[in-house]
Amino acid sequence: MSLPLVFIVAVAKNGVIGGDNQLLWRLSGDLKRFKALTMGKPMIMGRKTFDSIGKPLPGRETIVVTRDPAWSHEGVHVARDLDAAVALADQLGQAMGASEATVVGGAEIYRQLLPRAARVEWTEVDLAPAGDARFERLDPREWLESAREAHFRNLEAKDEADYAFVTYQRITNGLAPR
């Protein structure tokens, strides 16, 4: 049995998730949530997303998907395609005792793996910046919002917007999992 794939994504009101391979906002609470949701789990990401982070994150197994046969980075697992990445995430996750594997970007990785996702942990960002990476709205016939937690901008933390943490569960056979 494969580990469920859980997407971790922050999306602006206009669907933008980034621009020029960078995050377009600062939200300290979202960064803390990202860490909590990914800690102790394998993370699948594209090479550009990894490049924007710059290093493997501690306490997680980083799997970078790239077609470049020469690309490698110390402390990172490389997968040449999405099937290999998912298989590796399952293998590493089970070895780590993880209950799920995470997908953390970018836009093309999200787009291609969405049909395999069991849950999406979505940060709704109350901004509408220009950007070149997008995440499309989830189809309400396939996804059910199962939790929502609103957060106001924390000026002390230099947050740049209000935001909400939203959990979406995939609907299967007309029913969302419990």
What's the pLDDT at 131?
94
Tell me the C-alpha distance between 71 and 155, whole Å.
40
54-77 confidence digits (pLDDT tens) = 999 999 999 999 999 999 999 999
Domains of the chain, CATH where assigned? 5-170 (3.40.430.10)
**pLDDT tens digits for range 133-145:** 999 999 999 999 9
Model pLDDT for residues 10-20, shown as the tens digit of each residue: 999 999 999 99
* pLDDT value at 178 more than 70: no
Q: What is the pLDDT of residues 157-166, one digit of tens each?
A: 889 999 999 9
- Give the global pTM: 0.93
Are 80 and 108 in contact by the 8 Å Cβ rule? The answer is: no
Please say whether the beta carbons of 9 and 123 come within 8 A. Answer: yes
Distance CA(122)–CA(19), nearest Å, equals 18
Residues whose CB falls within 8 Å of the CB of residue 44, separated by 6 or more in sequence, listed in order: 5, 63, 65, 79, 85, 86, 89, 101, 102, 103, 104, 109, 113
